[in-house]
Structure 1
Amino acid sequence: MSSSKAFNSRYIIGISFISALGGYLFGFDFAVISGALPFLRTQFALDPVWEGFLTGSLALGCIVGCLIAGNLADRYGRKPGLMVAALIFAVSSIGIAFSQTLTYFIVLRFAAGIGVGMASMLCPMYIAEVSPAEVRGRNVAINQLTVVIGILITNLVNYFLADAGSDAWRWMFGLGAVPSAVFLIGVIWLPESPRWLMKSGQEERAQQVLNKIGSLEFVDTTMKAIEKSLAGNTAKQSYKMVFEKSVRPAVIVGITLAVFQQFCGINVVFNYTSTIFESVGANLDRQLFETVSIGVVNLVFTLLAMWQVDKLGRRPLMLVGSLGLSVLYIVLAVALQNHFPAGLVSIFVLLAISTYAISLAPVTWVLISEIFPNKIRGVASSVAIVSLWGAYFILVFTFPILAKSLGTYGPFYLYAGICFLGFLFVKARVKETKGKTLEELEENLIRH
């Protein structure tokens, strides 16, 4: 433990926030589709299959982005990877705004997904690697905070653009170029990850970065711990290493949590808000207003999660979240099935959002950034997050099809069952990680 060591909190939070701007872009691309879908259905005459594929095409790009980022981050460093992600965001946002055909739109949304996928992997990893153990959970949760700020601001912009005519969706997507440029400029000022510098034999540069982060005692302790964890691990990272027996338990937990975070079903609520509220008779203005309400509640409870993740711990939050969602989905399904008023449906939707925002949303990313050993953190994070985006694609692709055949309420019974299974998995397999250094967690993994 290193509680006696002094840290440069302002500097650590500053670089964490700059890195986490990638999360803002993730939130933008994630939320923009919800406001744009009512316009895109008309623009491209979408049926349920194409609506699902158009929404999910982002996730397919994310999978490619994660695979690129893992290799790029381990070969050239975390910082160049973040810069590439920012450039892809900027170019794809402008390109989507000028789309004339469905094919062109989907190709560019796939490209945007590559940027999202890279950022979704590199931002939490980078923050975990520059943060002292005592504040790592809170700092990695900053990435989730910027995701939800991105969602809220995008939903607000969508709401105000809704009256701009049939081409409103072009402005919704095109404005993504602005935060992309801010992120790119910010990344230029970031230091490289000290753990990556040590791994690539640049001890002096690593020491310079650590000197800015904390006291001499912290620098000395951290460098020794990193050296120890890297000893004998000079082999180049490969995906084969992820499935070695010694690290398999951590990889299984990481992949399962990543898939569960998506199959828990909440992203259906984020992406298909308009569909859900249309099913209980809400007009377009009310549908877009609900996306804003969701964004506000999401932000408030993410802030609460950041405050509690290093106090309550990861495991209790995951247990409460998974069981809470299971119960809320059954209530929501009954409300939708019986055509409760939109205001009442909204209450159950917002309760589900708040439960997710304080638990599965930030804590899954924190755990993925922590539980893998230094020697395979890049490729193991890549595998876990590829699994996450694969699950996201399946979720959002299948929802319009399931909603058409079962009714909008039907899939929520399925998601309730998945959440209960997730609760049982967390109870059985997930260990607490709060307050431990990345190297201590690695030692515990080896012992078990």
Structure 2
Amino acid sequence: MAGGSFGPAGVSKERAEHYKGKVTSYVIMACIFGAVGGAIFGYDIGISGGVTSMDDFLGKFFRKVYHKKSLSHENNYCKYNNQGLSAFTSSLYLAGLVASLVASPVTRNYGRRASIICGGISFLLGAILNALAVNLGMLIMGRIMLGVGIGFGNQAIPLYLSEMAPAHLRGGLNIMFQLATTLGIFTANMINYGTEKIHPWGWRLSLGLAAAPAFLMTVGGYFIPETPNSLVERGLEDKGRLVLEKIRGTQEVNAEFQDMMDASELAKSIKHPFRNILERRNRPQLVMAIFMPTFQILTGINSILFYAPVLFQSMGFKGTASLYSSVLTGAVLVLSTFISIALVDKLGRRVLLISGGIQMIICQVNPLNTKSITITTYNMLAFFMDAKQITVAVILGVKFGDNVELSKGFSILVVVVFCLFVAAFGWSWGPLGWTVPSEIFALETRSAGQSITVAVNLFFTFVIAQSFLSLLCAFKYGIFLFFAGWITIMTIFVYLFLPETKGVPIEEMILLWGKHWFWKKIMPTVPNKSYNI
């Protein structure tokens, strides 16, 4: 065991400059298999919206909605307003919220792999129940099992990726989770586009095919190695060092391994991680674990991803046209995630998160600088996160009445603006809403912190999923102005309170907060070291 005086996270000094190793095929494959779990989250997001717009599904489980959508005199904004239909979507996320809290002690005491496997098995069972559902109760039970799978998977996988990845590539490899999520959404949209034509059981095929990513997640969980951090935390130091040497491709891992040992020694003294995370020295990370996932959902992205086909049908798109539009937005989301993977470890997290006018003004200080031009270009895209909400609200308010469909031209414009919004989300808040919280906690509070992140994310996802159709009916186009206001707030929050985490070793992340202009008032003083904050 390491001796000496420990810092606020059990790490006595900074050793990052002594870290050795390279990116091995072993760690790349481990991260790919680990990230597959993100596909189950994405698949469900994509499949739910498509299935709830299918007449065969509505006719069997939600006949009131089925009859209401065919009435020409019905308010366009309210055709799908049904709490039972909303519960079909939202029940999964409420179950996931509870499961994520249960997953924390499993992840800490039995390892990241154990939670990944548990999540895969639960999701597999949920997919089978949904595919065979004969009544609403069986359908909701399947959704709850899916939620348990997502709760375990989302709790463990971002941690797994952050701990396996070398510091200089941690952002890009961690975003593999978001990439898998977006691929899951796109795949689900494509499947819905095909199964919508299969009557009367196409919806069963859509729901049942969720078993495929669940199976890959479960099998992959058996073959991927446990993270060295988890092995050391559970007292398996020798095995942890062997895994560390293998994933770094060198035996010169003394500095990184010593950081793990130091963090583990303190972690073992913490018997109640959830109580410990409330202590003052953990306040900055706790704030980020709450606000990052909250802001991620309050962008309004789920109003598109959950209900894209329903939303487009409400705007006048017919049948397969609405599914085609959601396929398009799904493809844009996948492609934009590659932008984040390419830039997150070069430009940093803050550059990709901060959008709009303030960022562009800063970049124009040196307009001839290539890096500034690159930053400006992508922040112009980010500006559309606000512009999209306002533009859609204006179009719907001026051109879309209670019982009037959008013209073809304005319908195309709405789809284009939606795609711009999805693109901006896909390279910024989409992946980094998961990446940042997964990398900032000390070892002793890491699993508890990730559980809080997942629980908050799923809570607000549940709220949006359950209330959006009712809010759309009540506020009409004004709901998009509501989301636009939150995007402004979250941009200011990141600018003021989030330090840059690019390139900082995960076990030394705690040292950042003591150097931040605001958080240093709360954190203990630490030796001065530049991380390009």
**Which band: TM-score by shorter chain?**
over 0.9
In the TM superposition, what whole-angstrom CA distance separates every residue of 1:143-197 from its partner, at most 9, and x where no partner exists?
A: 1111111111111111011110132111101111122222222211111111011
Deviation at 1:6, TM superposition (A): 3.0
Q: Tell me, what secondary structure is at the counterpart of 1:392?
A: helix
| Aligned equivalents of 1:431, 1:293: Cα separation in 2 | 35
> What 5-or-longer segments of structure 2 have no aligned partner?
1-15, 66-80, 356-378, 401-405, 514-522, 526-533
Letter in 1 for 2:489: L
Given candidates 26, 31, 42, the residue that maps to 1:27 is 42
Given candidates 40, 60, 64, the residue that maps to 1:43 is 60
Determine if contact 2:37/2:213 at 8 Å carries over to the other structure. Answer: no
1:250-261 → structure 2 map (5 Å cutoff): 250-261=285-296
In the TM superposition, what whole-angstrom CA distance separates every residue of 1:327-368 from its partner, at most 9, and x where no partner exists?
A: 221111112222352211100000000000010001111101
Given candidates 482, 500, 503, the residue that maps to 1:432 is 500
1:265-304 → structure 2 map (5 Å cutoff): 265-304=300-339
Letter in 2 for 1:154: A
Query: Are 2:386 and 1:326 equivalent residues in the alignment?
Result: yes
1:132-281 → structure 2 map (5 Å cutoff): 132-216=166-250, 218-234=252-268, 235-281=270-316
Determine if contact 2:49/2:310 at 8 Å carries over to the other structure. Answer: no
Deviation at 1:241, TM superposition (A): 1.1
In the TM superposition, what whole-angstrom CA distance separates every residue of 1:263-322 from its partner, at most 9, and x where no partner exists?
A: 111111011112221232110110000111011101110011101111111011111277
Deviation at 1:228, TM superposition (A): 2.0
Query: Are 2:438 and 1:369 equivalent residues in the alignment?
Result: yes
The structure-2 alpha-carbon separation of the partners of 1:434 and 1:447, relative to structure 1 and needing over 3 Å to count, comes to farther
Q: Partner residue of 2:77?
A: none
In the TM superposition, what whole-angstrom CA distance separates every residue of 1:69-104 from its partner, at most 9, and x where no partner exists?
A: 111101111111111111111111011011111222
Query: Are 2:478 and 1:410 equivalent residues in the alignment?
Result: yes
Given candidates 146, 150, 154, the residue that maps to 1:112 is 146
Q: Partner residue of 2:469?
A: 400
| Aligned equivalents of 1:14, 1:260: Cα separation in 2 | 31
Determine if contact 1:65/1:118 at 8 Å carries over to the other structure. Answer: yes
- Once the two structures are overlaid, the 10-residue window that deviates more, 220-229 or 14-23, is 220-229
- What's the % identity of the aligned pairs? 27
| Aligned equivalents of 2:180, 2:474: Cα separation in 1 | 36
Determine if contact 1:323/1:420 at 8 Å carries over to the other structure. Answer: no
| Aligned equivalents of 1:63, 1:420: Cα separation in 2 | 27
Q: Partner residue of 2:360?
A: none
Q: Tell me, what secondary structure is at the counterpart of 2:458?
A: helix
Q: With structure 1 as the length reference, what TM-score do the two structures score?
A: 0.96
Letter in 2 for 1:335: I
Q: Partner residue of 1:88?
A: 122
| Aligned equivalents of 1:218, 1:171: Cα separation in 2 | 51
Q: With structure 2 as the length reference, what TM-score do the two structures score?
A: 0.81
| Aligned equivalents of 1:220, 1:67: Cα separation in 2 | 34
Letter in 1 for 2:396: L
Query: Are 2:27 and 1:12 equivalent residues in the alignment?
Result: yes
Determine if contact 1:8/1:212 at 8 Å carries over to the other structure. Answer: no
Q: Tell me, what secondary structure is at the counterpart of 1:195?
A: helix
- Once the two structures are overlaid, the 10-residue window that deviates more, 4-13 or 127-136, is 4-13
Letter in 2 for 1:24: A
- Once the two structures are overlaid, the 10-residue window that deviates more, 175-184 or 427-436, is 175-184
| Aligned equivalents of 1:249, 1:130: Cα separation in 2 | 24
| Aligned equivalents of 1:192, 1:232: Cα separation in 2 | 21
Q: Partner residue of 2:512?
A: 444
The structure-2 alpha-carbon separation of the partners of 1:4 and 1:207, relative to structure 1 and needing over 3 Å to count, comes to closer
Letter in 2 for 1:303: F
Query: Are 2:425 and 1:356 equivalent residues in the alignment?
Result: yes
- Once the two structures are overlaid, the 10-residue window that deviates more, 272-281 or 292-301, is 272-281
Q: Tell me, what secondary structure is at the counterpart of 1:192?
A: coil
| Aligned equivalents of 2:219, 2:471: Cα separation in 1 | 43
Determine if contact 1:402/1:410 at 8 Å carries over to the other structure. Answer: no
Determine if contact 2:157/2:177 at 8 Å carries over to the other structure. Answer: yes
Q: Partner residue of 1:423?
A: 491
| Aligned equivalents of 2:384, 2:496: Cα separation in 1 | 18
Determine if contact 2:103/2:451 at 8 Å carries over to the other structure. Answer: yes
Q: Tell me, what secondary structure is at the counterpart of 1:86?
A: helix
Deviation at 1:371, TM superposition (A): 1.1
The structure-2 alpha-carbon separation of the partners of 1:4 and 1:221, relative to structure 1 and needing over 3 Å to count, comes to closer
Q: Partner residue of 1:378?
A: 447
Determine if contact 1:20/1:123 at 8 Å carries over to the other structure. Answer: yes
Q: Tell me, what secondary structure is at the counterpart of 1:145?
A: helix
| Aligned equivalents of 2:396, 2:132: Cα separation in 1 | 37
Letter in 2 for 1:438: I
The structure-2 alpha-carbon separation of the partners of 1:91 and 1:31, relative to structure 1 and needing over 3 Å to count, comes to same
Q: Partner residue of 2:364?
A: none
Determine if contact 1:255/1:385 at 8 Å carries over to the other structure. Answer: no
Q: Partner residue of 2:517?
A: none
Q: Tell me, what secondary structure is at the counterpart of 2:281?
A: coil
The structure-2 alpha-carbon separation of the partners of 1:187 and 1:233, relative to structure 1 and needing over 3 Å to count, comes to closer
Deviation at 1:3, TM superposition (A): 8.7
Letter in 1 for 2:61: F
> What 5-or-longer segments of structure 1 have no aligned partner?
none
Task: Name the Cα RMSD after superposition.
Answer: 1.6
| Aligned equivalents of 1:447, 1:227: Cα separation in 2 | 21
Q: Partner residue of 1:53?
A: 87
Deviation at 1:217, TM superposition (A): 5.9
